[in-house]
Structure formats: C-alpha cells, structure tokens
Amino acid sequence: MSGVSRRSLLAGGASAAVLGALGMYAGREWAATGSGSGHGAGAIGGAVSTPSAPPVKLIGDGSTADTGAQPKQPKPERLKAGERPPQFVVFSWDGAGELSNGLFSRFRKVAADHGASMTFFLSGIYTLPESKKGLYAPPQHPVGASAIGYLSDRHIHATLREVRSAWLEGHEIGTHFNGHFCGADGVGRWSPAEWRSEIDQAKRFVTQWKTNTGFTDLEPLPFDYEKELIGGRTPCLEGQANLLPTAAELGWKYDASSPGGLQIWPGKVQGGRIWDFPLQSIPFPGHSFQVLSMDYNMMANQSDANPLGDRSMYEAWRVQARDSYLAGFRRAYETNRAPFFIGNHFERWNGGIYMDAVEEAIGQIAQHDDVRLVSFRQLVEWLEAQDPAVLAKLRTLSPGQAPAGDWADFLGPVASGSPSASSGSVAS
C-alpha cells in the first residue's frame, strides 16, 4: 500500500478561518439486491417533503417526542454459509446545519433519489440562538465560546425542520458535539468527565430548543435523543482516547473519530464495547500517497487548505475528488467488501466542487449490485446480527485483498461451524 501523506491525515474539521470564509457558521430487507437507483439498504424513495406526524409522546418542553420505532429501517439478516457480504457505504455529514445554500435539503433529496440512508452529525449549538450562548459552558474555554459560529435564528429554524424530516426518512442523527475546538487548546486535551459535560450540553440544546428559541410554529423532533444518540464524530478527529470511556458509559454503540483507517472490516475498541468506524485512507488519483476520505482533506491537499483556491483548477480538482471516492469504493467492492466510510461537511469550498464530487460519487456507487447505502446505526445493527467468527475471518483480509478462491470457500466452513471456525473476538 502506498504511503499516506502527512496532509492526508489532517483533522476532519476545518479551522475557524476556513469555516468562516465559506459560511459554515452562519421496512426494506437487507437481503434485497439489484442495481440502479433505489436499491440501497433502507431505500427511501419518493418526495422529501416532511412526512405527516405519527402519534407523539412529548418529552420535556416538547422539543422532542417519542414517536415509536424509526420509519424506513432495513431488517438486518445474518450472512448464510459462504455468502458474499454486501458492500456497505456510509455517507456522513459533520455539523449538519441548514444554511442559505440549502445543502442539507439538497443531500436529503440525493439520498431519496438513490435509496440511501445517511448519518447527520448534528452540532448541538446549531440549535442554540447566539443570544443564549451563555448557556454553553465549553470545557477549558470561557462560557459561550465556540470555534464555529452560532447560526442565525432563521438558520436554526431551517436546521430543525431538516433534522425532523431526515429522521422520518430513515436517516440517523448523531452528534458533532458543540464548539468544535481543535489543536493545542482543543478537544484532544479533554478528560472523560469534560467529554461527558460536552455531550450532556449537546443533548440539552437539542432537547430544549423550544425553550431556547421561542419557536412555536415547528413540530417536535420525532425521537427521544437519549435513545437515538449512539455515536458521533469528534471535531478535527481529535480526542477519541478520552471520549471512548464516556461513550461506553453512555451505552454508545460506535465512534467515527479515528483518522487514516485502513479499508478493512471494522472491529471494536474500549474493551469490545464500541465499534470503531474510522475515516479511511483511499487512493488519490495522480499521487503516490493516499488521502483521507473527507472533503476537507481533499481541499487541504489540492489548494493547501485555502477554501478559495485557484479557480482554473476547480474542474480538475472536482474530478480528482470524485475519482478518489470511486477508487476507494472499487478497492473494497471488488475485493474484501470492507464497509466504506465517507465524511463531509455542508460547505462551498473551492466553489462547491466537493459537494458536486460527492453527489456524483453517490450516483455512480448506487448503480452497482449488492451495494447498501446505510447509516452508521444501520451498519451497527447488521454487524451485531452476524456470527462473530465470520466477522473475525473477514478482518483477516487486507485492503484490496480478495478471498483466495471464492466466497463460498472462504466463509463457508466458518459459517457452517466446522472445526476451522473460531469464536474469535472482533475487538482490535
């Protein structure tokens, strides 16, 4: 495998200067197969207008409600003996605020067009008006401080509408925490107790938006966030080591904060309690090194982290970013079938080329047979439905390594319980 450049491991979140410059502040079966649009797991289909409200049991001040099981969730099925695994692809979004550029609503429609479920990592302060920023007490920073800006009231309003619709369409709402502090004075210095404070505040902002905003024309978010929230991604992919004990204590199922992971089948960390879903190092066309599977890292390598780079290069950079995602997909799809993870932000860096690149990649990936475009939550449910010995065997395949022989030879003896099968852990 080619070496990974230092810049390919840059933190997944952009600096405050970069974010400010671009306006980032302001019942389907798993077993279903087929090619073409609408064949991903958890296919959504139809319009993306807000669905009608199910019966609700209001929680707290009515900002959230228990509406029962989430709609449009696929049923996880255990692999049969010798069966080739489907190709899982998870598209996830850090921050998940709806600004005037309409990117949240744009990618809800993209998801619907291609039968995809996605994970939206909501920043808690995107539901908190700036006039109430004194309610946020970030660890190791002054009250109200944030490395990303608070949204305007109208953008908070729009974000709440998008989050509600996304969940009803089958998408996952995770967390990107709150203030996005990175670097020398960032989240990498936080203790487990400080992470607990940050998480508690993020949940409180989401579950008390009615009190904090005074909005009276919006329906409640249709989920109990205490139950819904089972994972997140840290700012700049920093601080995972001290987050994990708190995540395990809270009963979270996964964390998506590791940088530079290999394209192999995931395992568990924190004593086998938390699935580790890293952003992955993928081929970078035209280079001998690999790049992290996120828009910021593409931009960091192409325009030296300048979000307003050389306009004459935009088209070439868009194609390069799209083809990098597709190369990462093909490397897994044609060989070990390891789940493929792509992370992005709702941004307009370098003229919005990364949004166009990921939309094109989604469209092409969705055309392949056996592809499941899922959320991290849905992937967890599938993994936990599998025989641990089968997952352990899958983890022996390196990036770009196909099984010797065929899948029936590779997994058949394990799944059938022959003496060669083991009860090996998938912990890493």
- Tens of pLDDT, residue by residue over 140-153, are 999 999 999 999 99
What SS3 class is residue 118? coil
The residue with greater pLDDT, 213 or 18, is: 213
Report residue 110's pLDDT band, with 50, 70 and 90 as the boundaries.
very high
Radius of gyration of the chain (CA): 21
Residues 6+ apart with CB under 8 A from 374: 40, 41, 42, 74, 88, 89, 90, 116, 117, 382
User: Left (φ > 0), alpha (ψ -120 to 50) or beta: where does 96 sit?
Assistant: left
What is the Cα–Cα distance from 157 to 15, expressed in whole angstroms?
Answer: 25
User: Left (φ > 0), alpha (ψ -120 to 50) or beta: where does 203 sit?
Assistant: alpha
Contact between 146 and 202 under an 8 Å Cβ cutoff? The reply is: no
What is the Cα–Cα distance from 123 to 367, expressed in whole angstroms?
Answer: 32
pLDDT at 414: 80
DSSP string, 267-282: -EETTTTEEE---BEE
Contact between 322 and 357 under an 8 Å Cβ cutoff? The reply is: yes
Burial (CB count <10 Å: 0-12, 13-18, 19+), residue 298:
buried
The average pLDDT across 208-221 equals 98
pTM over 0.95: no
Residues 6+ apart with CB under 8 A from 251: 230
Residues 6+ apart with CB under 8 A from 125: 133, 136, 146, 148, 150, 151, 178, 179, 202, 205
Mind listing the pLDDT tens digit for each residue in 340-354?
A: 999 999 999 999 999
User: Left (φ > 0), alpha (ψ -120 to 50) or beta: where does 351 sit?
Assistant: left
Residues 6+ apart with CB under 8 A from 259: 9, 11, 12, 237, 278, 279, 292
The average pLDDT across 319-339 equals 98
H or E element in which residue 175 lies? strand 172-175
Residue at 149: amino acid letter: G
Torsion sign over Cα 181, 225, 89, 113: negative
Report residue 417's pLDDT band, with 50, 70 and 90 as the boundaries.
low
What is the Cα–Cα distance from 164 to 160, expressed in whole angstroms?
Answer: 6
Residue at 193: amino acid letter: A
Q: What CATH number does domain 7-415 carry, 3.20.20.370, 3.40.190.10, 3.50.50.60, 3.40.367.20?
A: 3.20.20.370
